[in-house]
């Protein structure tokens, strides 16, 4: 099983190896951006801005990583996130309170997770088909709720949204001489909390070991006494819940609901997971790698924009190229690793 966790004893597992490669490439890429592009890359706030803008993506990617480790897929996460944003905005504008809106977000995510998990795990329907249907349903429901953009005008929510953690000593001096302190949004703390929880489950809990076992070899997992259907069911529940949390975090970042909210988020989440070392075939992956995969994806986009290539298709081209590079890299690394194991 590919879940040994001690970096200090023995060789790295496939998960650890791919995660280490991702972290190394991100650090190298960012250092090169500092040397050749400078600008905002010189300031710590650039990292914080990447986290502020992508907190919801990090949360969704954590859920998708769990599903992908089991060998499944969930392409509904972006649409569920969008539905959560619109539903919560309308609820708050209708006189609701912030606490109940959080429960609403969790409830919507949980509902999709339960349905997807049941259909995939207990009825053995292909995950792609199930979550594709979920994606269309969520997008349709979002449009039914409101075709037009809706801004959250709830006073309590506005105060929560405007709350930021300010770190003066990590700020920078602007060209006009004013000191700009570093700022972190509340959503980033939520994303980091979700990341830590998922990491602990995958690393230390028997449920996490079950995810890896199912993705690695379902037959072997059955022989080990793992309840495959129940374990896979929980993977989709996690994905649904994290999509609900992601929706509320996205609403705190944008302050508005829109039918096109989180459009393409599922593709970015898949890309972040793959770049972070998660294999589509299952059994290998880690949310720490996914976190750095998200940062790598965001950094390459910022590098493209800083280079003067402002047209949106350049970001799509570089993202596609980066994804192909990491898939090829994973294939080469794991292929050579397996050959060395057989030779030994």
Provide CB contacts within 8 A for 14, sequence distance 6+: 2, 284, 334, 337
326 in a structural domain: yes
- In the predicted model, what is the mean pLDDT of residues 250-262? 89
Provide CB contacts within 8 A for 31, sequence distance 6+: none
Q: Which of the pair, 296 or 312, is modelled with greater confidence?
A: 296
Q: Compute φ and ψ for 310, nearest 5 degrees.
A: -85, -15
pLDDT at residue 146 greater than cutoff 70: yes
Q: In terms of DSSP bridges, do strands 150-151 and 256-257 run parallel, antiparallel, or are they unpaired?
A: antiparallel
Q: Among residues 316, 48, 339, 29, which one has the least CA distance to residue 172?
A: 48
pLDDT at residue 228 greater than cutoff 60: yes
- Give dist(CA 239, CA 133) in Å, integer: 16
**With pLDDT > 70 as the criterion, what percentage of the chain qualifies?**
93
Structure tokens at 200: 């602990």
- In the predicted model, what is the mean pLDDT of residues 202-227? 93
Burial of 288 (0-12, 13-18, 19+ CB in 10 A): buried
- In the predicted model, what is the mean pLDDT of residues 271-288? 92
5 in a structural domain: no
- Give dist(CA 68, CA 84) in Å, integer: 23
Q: How confident is the model at residue 4 (pLDDT cuts 50, 70, 90)?
A: very low
Lowest mean per-residue pLDDT among 104-118, 209-223, 307-321? 307-321
pLDDT at residue 33 greater than cutoff 80: yes
Q: How confident is the model at residue 69 (pLDDT cuts 50, 70, 90)?
A: very high
pLDDT at residue 8 greater than cutoff 60: no
Number of domains within the chain: 1
152 in a structural domain: yes
pLDDT at residue 39 greater than cutoff 80: no
Task: State pTM to two decimals.
Answer: 0.92
- Say if residues 323 and 54 touch (Cβ distance below 8 Å): no
Biggest alpha carbon distance in the chain?
67
Q: Which of the pair, 339 or 122, is modelled with greater confidence?
A: 122
pLDDT at residue 208 greater than cutoff 60: yes
- Give dist(CA 12, CA 114) in Å, integer: 35
Lowest mean per-residue pLDDT among 7-16, 74-83, 198-207, 313-322? 7-16
pLDDT in tens, 285-297: 999 999 999 999 9
Rounded to the nearest integer, the mean pLDDT of the chain is 89
pLDDT at residue 309 greater than cutoff 80: no
- Give dist(CA 238, CA 246) in Å, integer: 12
15 in a structural domain: no
Q: Among residues 247, 208, 248, which one has the least CA distance to residue 3?
A: 208
190 in a structural domain: yes
129 in a structural domain: yes
Distances (CA, A) of 82 to 10, 33, 63, 258, 261: 44, 33, 16, 7, 5
Distances (CA, A) of 232 to 69, 76, 200: 10, 16, 18
- Say if residues 54 and 298 touch (Cβ distance below 8 Å): yes
Per-residue pLDDT, 1: 44
- In the predicted model, what is the mean pLDDT of residues 214-231? 92
Per-residue pLDDT, 107: 98
Q: Compute φ and ψ for 105, nearest 5 degrees.
A: -60, -45
19 in a structural domain: no
pLDDT at residue 81 greater than cutoff 80: yes
**291 SS3 class:** helix
Per-residue pLDDT, 177: 66
Per-residue pLDDT, 335: 78
Q: Which of the pair, 109 or 3, is modelled with greater confidence?
A: 109
The CATH number that applies at residue 84 is 1.10.3470
Q: Which of the pair, 77 or 167, is modelled with greater confidence?
A: 77
What is the DSSP track for 86-119? HHHHHHHHTT--HHHHHHHHHHHHHHHHHHHHHH
Provide CB contacts within 8 A for 289, sequence distance 6+: 15, 18, 19, 22, 23, 276, 277, 278
293 in a structural domain: yes
- In the predicted model, what is the mean pLDDT of residues 215-224? 90
- Give, in degrees to the nearest 5, the angle at Cα 62 between 286 and 28: 60
- Say if residues 152 and 142 touch (Cβ distance below 8 Å): no
Tell me the helices (H) and strands (E) count for the chain, helix number first: 13, 4
- Give dist(CA 249, CA 254) in Å, integer: 9
Q: Which domain holds residue 278?
A: 24-305+313-333
């Amino acid at each position: 099983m590919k879940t040994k966790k001690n970096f200090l004893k023995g060789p790295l597992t496939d998960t650890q190896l791919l995660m280490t490669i991702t972290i190394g490439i991100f650090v190298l890429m960012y250092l090169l951006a500092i040397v050749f592009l400078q600008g905002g890359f010189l300031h710590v706030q650039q990292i914080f801005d990447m986290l502020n803008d992508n907190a919801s993506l990090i949360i969704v990617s954590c859920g998708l990583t769990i599903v992908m480790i089991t060998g499944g897929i969930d392409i509904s996460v972006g649409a569920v996130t969008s539905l959560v944003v619109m539903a919560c905005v309308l609820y708050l504008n209708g006189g609701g309170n912030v606490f109940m809106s959080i429960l609403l977000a969790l409830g919507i995510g949980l509902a999709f997770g339960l349905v997807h998990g049941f259909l995939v795990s207990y009825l053995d329907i292909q995950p792609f088909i199930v979550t594709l249907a979920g994606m269309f349903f969520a997008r349709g429901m979002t449009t039914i709720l409101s075709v037009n953009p809706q801004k959250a005008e709830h006073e309590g929510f506005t105060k929560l949204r405007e709350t930021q953690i300010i770190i003066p000593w990590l700020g920078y001096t602007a060209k006009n001489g004013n000191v700009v302190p570093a700022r972190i949004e509340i959503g980033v703390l939520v994303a980091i909390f979700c990341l830590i929880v998922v990491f602990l489950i995958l690393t230390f809990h028997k449920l996490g070991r079950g995810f890896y076992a199912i993705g690695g070899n379902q037959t072997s997992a059955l022989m080990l006494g793992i309840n495959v259907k129940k374990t896979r069911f929980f993977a989709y529940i996690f994905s649904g819940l994290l999509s609900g949390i992601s929706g509320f975090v996205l609403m705190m970042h944008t302050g508005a609901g829109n039918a096109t909210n989180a459009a393409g988020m599922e593709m970015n989440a898949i890309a972040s997971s793959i770049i972070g070392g998660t294999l589509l075939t299952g059994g290998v992956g880690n949310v720490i790698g996914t976190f750095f995969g998200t940062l790598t994806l965001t950094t390459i986009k910022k590098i493209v924009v800083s280079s003067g290539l402002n047209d949106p298709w350049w970001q799509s081209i570089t993202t596609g190229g980066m994804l192909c590079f990491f898939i090829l890299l994973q294939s080469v690394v794991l292929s050579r690793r397996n050959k060395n194991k057989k030779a030994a």
